[in-house]
């Protein structure tokens, strides 16, 4: 019960802020559409995590009834899976089990939750503005489909707004993937214990790559959880993860504020018959698809080298 209560409290404020948003824009249904998007992603991730942790193949897993390694018997597989999804889809960073001991797919699901931008529901405030950036991109894509200038909440989405939104969604993946690539590719001197990946990773192969990818994903996305097999207390990781934290957590805020200022300068335009209704279930589905496609195109090659390869090999 205490575990479920903590999960509830982790999700409470980020989810409640969607109603606050609806009241601020004068239409609570706009907030409910964002809430529905967050809920769909959270439920989907939880279902996938439960499935991969309970139904993992192999005689040891089948005898134990699931993937029990690294999990407390107080919480079991179910309680640990729900907690892991809740804390990686938000910016909590807490754990009640060892994420590095999850199955290959399970670790990948936790990683992907952060790579979405921690928007389902995300942190206190940061999840909402991340989701609104995705909403602007979804509206822009819908406008391209019908050949109409996109609008969101009575404001036109023009070239300037899309450039700022694009910068927002690109800065964190650029940091995560660049630092991960450098950590894997740069040579490590044989007598050094303070440089790159080779001397700091406990796992090997795909899991070792996942440990590195997870470290930078967690640092840049304002989470703080980790795959315990990585010894991040080295000069290389202290420096690069610190840079990922600094740039990945503050640069997106700059682009969000710039975008907010650009929209605030505009005069509202009245809705017409051709305006996309952003409080409808259709928009919620479009928004979910936009989020998954953008993140998938960005991170899929790296995920294929790490958790997906590990999951397929097990």
Residue 299 pLDDT? 95
Range 21-29 contact pairs with CB under 8 angstroms and sequence separation of 24 or more: 21/128, 21/132, 25/153, 27/279, 29/279
Indicate whether 173 pLDDT > 80.
yes
- Per-residue confidence (pLDDT) for residue 192, from 0 to 100: 41
pTM metric for this prediction = 0.91
Strands 155-156 and 151-152, how do they pair? antiparallel
Q: Quick one: pLDDT at residue 199? A: 55
Q: What's the CA gap between 77 and 71, in Å, rounded?
A: 7
Say what the pLDDT of residue 56 is: 67
Q: What pLDDT does residue 63 have? A: 57
Q: Is the pLDDT reported for residue 22 higher than 80?
A: yes
Q: What is the mean pLDDT of residues 6-28?
A: 95
Per-residue pLDDT of 59-89, as tens digits, reads 556 555 667 888 888 998 999 999 999 999 9
Angstrom distance (rounded) from CA 62 to CA 31:
43
**The tokens of 23 are what?**
């009241």
Would you state the pLDDT for residue 185?
Answer: 86
The pLDDT of residue 191 is 39
pLDDT digits (tens, 9 = 90+) for 179-237: 999 988 887 644 344 444 555 666 678 888 999 999 999 999 989 899 888 888 888 88
pLDDT (tens digit per residue) in 272-283: 877 889 999 999
Q: How far apart, in whole angstroms, are the C-alpha atoms of residue 79 and residue 290?
A: 30
């Amino acid at each position: 019960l205490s575990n479920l209560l903590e999960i509830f409290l982790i999700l409470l404020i980020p989810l409640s802020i969607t109603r606050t948003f609806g009241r601020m824009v004068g239409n609570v249904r706009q907030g409910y559409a964002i809430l529905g998007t967050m809920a769909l992603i959270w439920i989907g991730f939880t279902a996938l995590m439960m499935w991969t942790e309970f139904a993992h193949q192999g005689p040891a897993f089948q005898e134990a009834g699931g993937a029990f390694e690294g999990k407390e018997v107080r919480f079991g597989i179910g309680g640990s899976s729900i907690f892991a999804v809740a804390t990686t889809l938000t910016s909590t960073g807490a754990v009640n089990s060892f994420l590095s001991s999850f199955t290959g797919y399970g670790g990948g699901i936790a990683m992907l939750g952060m790579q979405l931008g921690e928007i389902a529901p995300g942190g206190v405030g940061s999840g909402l503005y991340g989701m609104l950036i995705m909403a602007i991109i979804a509206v822009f894509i819908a406008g391209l489909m019908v050949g109409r200038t996109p609008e969101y909440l009575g404001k036109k989405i023009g070239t300037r707004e899309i450039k700022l939104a694009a910068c927002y969604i690109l800065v964190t993946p650029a940091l995560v993937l660049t630092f991960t690539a450098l950590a894997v590719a740069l040579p490590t001197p044989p007598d050094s214990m303070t440089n790159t990946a080779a001397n700091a990773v406990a796992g090997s192969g795909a899991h070792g790559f996942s440990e590195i990818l997870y470290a930078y994903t967690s640092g840049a996305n304002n989470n703080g959880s980790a795959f315990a097999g990585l010894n991040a207390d080295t000069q290389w990781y202290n420096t690069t993860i610190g840079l990922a934290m600094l740039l990945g957590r503050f640069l997106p805020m700059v682009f969000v504020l710039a975008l907010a200022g650009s929209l605030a300068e505009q005069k509202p335009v009245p809705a017409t018959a051709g305006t996309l209704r952003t409080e409808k279930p259709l928009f919620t589905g479009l928004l979910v698809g936009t989020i998954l496609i953008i993140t998938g195109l960005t991170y899929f090659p790296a995920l294929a080298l790490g958790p997906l390869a590990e999951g397929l090999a097990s």
